[in-house]
Structure 1
Amino acid sequence: MKCNPAAFLETEGAVELLRWFKKTESVFGISKCAEGKKVKFAAATLQGPALTWWNAKIATMGLETVNQMPWIEMKQLMTAEFCPIEEVQRMEHELWNLKVKEYNIMAYTQRFNELALMCLRMVEPERVKVDAYIQGLTDNIKGEVTSSKPANLNEDIHMAHKLMEQKS
């Protein structure tokens, strides 16, 4: 079976990194990758600036040390390098101020989900995430979505899309 590991280039910032983590972990699961092999496997998918950074880590820490590193530690190192606190703060600000533009609920939902993945402290627990999503909706559907009392984000999104469709 071909698992198609995703390459990580480090050209699009934190969202790209998070997507790469998710895709890589999916491949780990499909291929039943042993914990001791995850870092080697993931490192083999690095390209461009990310590969240069990883080679510098190897030079500093030693090949044996990085190859014995747990996957969680590699993720922490990569997050520290490719998701600087300033970028996370910028994304938190964007999430806080995110609004539906030109009635494009699809674009709003996609960006909300991307930002929510990177700004976990702003959208936990689930009720806070639901409220944050509702906050960015247009005024003509915000009240109806709120009064439907969605239990989770999926219900929230479904209701918002349905209402936006009716309004346009």
Structure 2
Amino acid sequence: MARGRGRGRARKPTRFADGSTAWAPSGQQEDTSSTPTRSVPQQEHTMDPTGSTPEMGAPEIGTSEGPSIQHEETISASQLMQMMVQQQVAAREDIMRMVEVQQQFLQQQLQQQQAMYQQQQQQQFQGTTAQPEHRVSLLDFQRYAPPAFKGTADPMEAVSWLKQMEKVFQALRCPDEEKVLFATFMLQGEAADWWEMEKGKLGPDDAPFIWEEFKKVFHEKYFPQGIRFQKYREFDRLEQGDMTVAQYAAKFEEMSRYAPTLISEESDRARKFENGLRGRIQQQVAAFELSSYKDVVNKALVIEKGLDNAQAAREK
């Protein structure tokens, strides 16, 4: 009876500590009190979504190596962004420098224009306008065919040559420092030798000579003091005499160069000419009390013509 009950007992599965179960073979008596034999757990492999088993040693997604790669990529992107920002800052600085340089240039131009405008206004206010320096070439001078001077014992010939030089200089508007150069270029023979010795006394070869200095030494050589005094007295005693008014005026103007102190004023010149007229002409001119030399000459010519016409009428 005991065996029959034992064979008829229901079997129960054996449960292990890892949670797995196993059925004991039939006929083997179960001993629930005995400790079941533990089986070595097998390593489970995680399947990837494709159903394949990852190789041993390969990093799995979500392991510690994944975040490392992402960190490196993040650092590279940060450096690139920083470089781009630095380039933009440098470009802005370059633009600001260019703008600053342009502003300085425009400010300088404005200052220059203002200075030029003020200078022009000042010149207009003073009534002067800057003109380019007037220059005369030797070729321009020779176009007027100036006469040569070889020296002479006749003072009037020397004075006449000097007068012709001054007429050419006036026509050319010749600067003072070039007058001596052109005049001495026309000296020949004895006159050229005289000038070579004379300019050595005046100063170094490269020293400029003004026209008034040249005329002074020229007069001392060819129109000495004794002759000048003689001409001075001739002018002082000059009268119309048998000359016509026109002839008297020409002689008066020629001789007046030798006595400039006698006619330094326009009124003195007019009185000197008037006092030298013939009696009847002088009396009628004096009645007008003219103070201009030109007016005295013109009035004397008119009166002379009237007297000549009256004389001719009486002789008929």
Q: TM-score normalised to the size of structure 2?
A: 0.46
- Confirm or deny: 8 A CA contact 1:3 1:31 kept in the other structure: no
Alpha-carbon shift at residue 98 of structure 1 (Å): 1.1
Residue correspondence of structure 1 range 44-83 to structure 2 within 5 A: 44-47=185-188, 49-58=190-199, 64-65=205-206, 68-83=208-223
Number of the residue aligned with 2:22: none
Number of the residue aligned with 2:263: 123
When Rg is computed on C-alpha atoms for both structures, the one with the higher figure is 2
1:28-85: CA deviation from partner (whole Å, max 9, x where unpaired): 34334344332121101224543342233246557715x6222221111112222222
Q: Could you say what secondary structure the match of 1:64 adopts?
A: coil
> CA 1:165/1:60 → structure 2, altered by over 3 Å: closer, same or farther?
same
Question: What CA distance in whole angstroms lies between the structure 2 residues aligned with 1:158 and 1:9?
Answer: 39
Q: TM-score normalised to the size of structure 1?
A: 0.81
Is 2:180 the partner of 1:39? yes
- Confirm or deny: 8 A CA contact 1:112 1:133 kept in the other structure: yes
Residue correspondence of structure 1 range 1-168 to structure 2 within 5 A: 2-11=143-152, 12-14=154-156, 16-17=158-159, 19-47=160-188, 49-58=190-199, 64-65=205-206, 68-168=208-308
Relative contact order, higher structure (CA 8 A, sep 6+): 1
Question: What CA distance in whole angstroms lies between the structure 1 residues aligned with 2:158 and 2:278?
Answer: 28
Question: What CA distance in whole angstroms lies between the structure 2 residues aligned with 1:150 and 1:16?
Answer: 35
Paired amino acid for 1:80? E
Paired amino acid for 2:186? T
> CA 1:154/1:60 → structure 2, altered by over 3 Å: closer, same or farther?
same
Paired amino acid for 1:131? R
Question: What CA distance in whole angstroms lies between the structure 1 residues aligned with 2:196 and 2:268?
Answer: 40
Question: What CA distance in whole angstroms lies between the structure 1 residues aligned with 2:190 and 2:292?
Answer: 38
Alpha-carbon shift at residue 9 of structure 1 (Å): 4.7
Let me know the Cα RMSD of the aligned residues: 2.6
Structure 1 unaligned residues grouped into runs of 5+: none
Question: What CA distance in whole angstroms lies between the structure 2 residues aligned with 1:110 and 1:15?
Answer: 17
Alpha-carbon shift at residue 125 of structure 1 (Å): 1.1
1:73-128: CA deviation from partner (whole Å, max 9, x where unpaired): 11111122222222222122111211112242222111111111221001121111
Q: Could you say what secondary structure the match of 2:148 adopts?
A: coil
1:111-150: CA deviation from partner (whole Å, max 9, x where unpaired): 1111112210011211111111111110011111111122
Percent identity over paired residues? 22
Question: What CA distance in whole angstroms lies between the structure 1 residues aligned with 2:241 and 2:221?
Answer: 32
Q: Which has the higher helix share?
A: 1
- Confirm or deny: 8 A CA contact 2:232 2:259 kept in the other structure: yes
> CA 1:158/1:58 → structure 2, altered by over 3 Å: closer, same or farther?
same
